[in-house]
Amino acid sequence: HSFISYDNWDTCLFGCTCLESLVLPASVRTVEQSAFSRCTNLVSIALPSSVTTIGRSAFRCCTNLRSLVISASITTVDKSAFAKCKNLDSIWIPLLFLNPLVLRLLD
């Protein structure tokens, strides 16, 4: 496995069709706007507890996304963060997180 070090996650992998799974390092605090939008072969995402914010359209149009794990540390999920993720069938959200933010996940 290799690790990509990237200082600016804003749209860094926008439209990357070879990305199938995503596990972000603990140093990531925010998934910026459209960072992984249109990664059409992305199937699963595990966000570390360090991530507190998921930006607008961060994973929009990830049409093969099936699995999402969100930690209780998430405080902000911006509009359309997971819009048009039509195959998303498994979302793990801690019980503590069940609040109005959840309703915005698939907005």
CATH of the domain at 105: 3.80.10.10
Residue 67 in any domain: the answer is yes
Number of independent structural domains in the chain? 1
Residue 4, domain member (yes or no)? no
Query: Does residue 3 lie within any of the structural domains?
Result: no
State both tokens at 21: 């799974």
Asked whether residue 84 is domain-assigned, the answer is: yes
pLDDT at res. 94? 72
pTM of the model: 0.76
Residue with tokens 């793990």: 92
Q: Does residue 47 fall inside a structural domain?
A: yes
**What pLDDT shows up at residue 64?**
95
Q: What is the pLDDT of residue 96?
A: 55
Contact 35, 55 (CB under 8 A): yes
Residue 52's domain spans which residues?
A: 9-107
Is the residue at 2 inside a domain? no
Query: Which residue ranges of the chain lie beneath pLDDT 70?
Result: 1-12, 95-107
Tokens of 4: 């990509």
- Identify the sign of the CA torsion 31, 32, 35, 40: positive
Nearest 5°: phi and psi at 96? -65, -20
Using alpha carbons only, give the angle 91, 71, 75 rounded to the nearest 5 degrees: 105
How high is the pLDDT of residue 12? 63
